[in-house]
Amino acid sequence: MKDLISFKLITALSITLLSFSSCKNLDLKESSSSGIAAKNIEEYAIQGVLWQQTSGEYKALCYQAFNIAKLQLGKELSNHATSDKPLAIVTDLDETLIDNSPYSAKQAKIGEGFLAENWIAWGNLEAAEAVPGALEFLNFAHQNGVAIFYISDRYNNQLQSTINNLKKLNFPNADNEHIMLKQKGQNKEKRRLKVAQNYKAVLFLGDNLSDFSNIFDHQTLESRNALTDKERAEFGKKFIVLPNPMYGAWLTDGIYNGKYDWTPAQKDSIIRKRLNSY
């Protein structure tokens, strides 16, 4: 009888332990699954934000870009005939002339994707600083009679805060005529063509390939890279690229294929599949 009771106790204990183990494993799986679903995908930008905000290499690349721009503009000024249209520079704003990394840093910290109202709220602070070398270059261009046109996909209701921010930093031509923000039915190409009606645009500055030509608009990752190879002769000559490791069409159109409703778990999977490892 004693042996039978012992056997029953051991069996019951084994079943209890097995049940506990199964529940524990299930909890871990659910925790892991919900952890992926709740993943702060914006954290992937942290190292890029930190690099932009702290590294000498970021500054060096910016100075390099504007030094090359100054050399190229000098050539254009030397060759410019008096009968030609007046010269102009067409430039993007965000991450090309002004630094919005504090906004991206906050996104990464709190796990927030892009929200128009929060982006506008950041712009209303008028707190973006100048990208290294940008102000010196554009003042050089302005002093030599070159018009500056700021073509940005900031929302049109950000016009006044944008003007105020640029004026605080002493950028030239910071006015309604020269700042051309996003309006319905007007992509950047239409605004560039508007400038070309009265000016000869000799340099294009940007952190995104679409800042240079509409051939890069809404392209896949593979197409963007193929087109970049095709246009290689223009970079450093007519197209001046500024570094932006935080965001851009390389991510939204390229990595995410122009789809904006991936879940965090799906984005995580897509990013990992794009990594070239060994």
Contact status, residue 251 vs residue 237, Cβ threshold 8 Å: no
Q: pLDDT digits over 221-269, tens only?
A: 999 999 999 999 999 999 999 999 999 999 999 999 999 899 999 999 9
In this predicted model, what pLDDT tens digit does every residue of 209-230 receive, in sequence order?
999 999 999 999 999 999 999 9
3-state helix, strand, coil in the chain (%, to 5): 60, 15, 30
Strands (E), 116-231: 129-130, 147-155, 179-182, 200-206
**Three-state secondary-structure class, residue 74:** helix
pLDDT digits (tens, 9 = 90+) for 24-64: 333 333 333 344 445 789 999 999 999 999 999 999 999 99
> Sign of torsion, CA 113 219 200 237?
positive
256 vs 277: CA distance, rounded Å? 19
Do the beta carbons of residue 241 and residue 235 sit within 8 Å?
A: yes
Tokens encoding 107: 């996104």
C-alpha distances (whole Å) from 68 to each of 62, 87, 179 are 10, 17, 24
CA distance 261 to 256: 9
Q: Label residue 6 by pLDDT band (50, 70, 90).
A: very low
Per-residue pLDDT of 60-118, as tens digits, reads 999 999 999 999 999 999 987 665 799 999 999 999 999 999 999 999 999 988 999 99
For the segment 103-138, what is each residue's pLDDT rounded down to a tens digit?
Answer: 999 999 999 889 999 999 999 999 999 999 999 999
List the structure tokens of 16. 């209890």
Q: Where are the domains of the chain?
A: 42-265+269-273
- pLDDT score of 16 more than 50: no
Residue 219: C-alpha distances to residues 106, 183, 224, 230, 238 (Å): 29, 21, 6, 14, 21
Architecture of the domain spanning 42-265+269-273: 3-Layer(aba) Sandwich (3.40)
Residues 6+ apart with CB under 8 A from 123: 154, 158, 161, 162, 165
Residue 244 CB partners (closer than 8 Å, separation 6+): 52, 95, 207, 208
pLDDT of residue 193: 97
**Dihedral over alpha carbons 223, 228, 231, 237 (to 10 degrees):** 160
d(CA 180, CA 153): 8
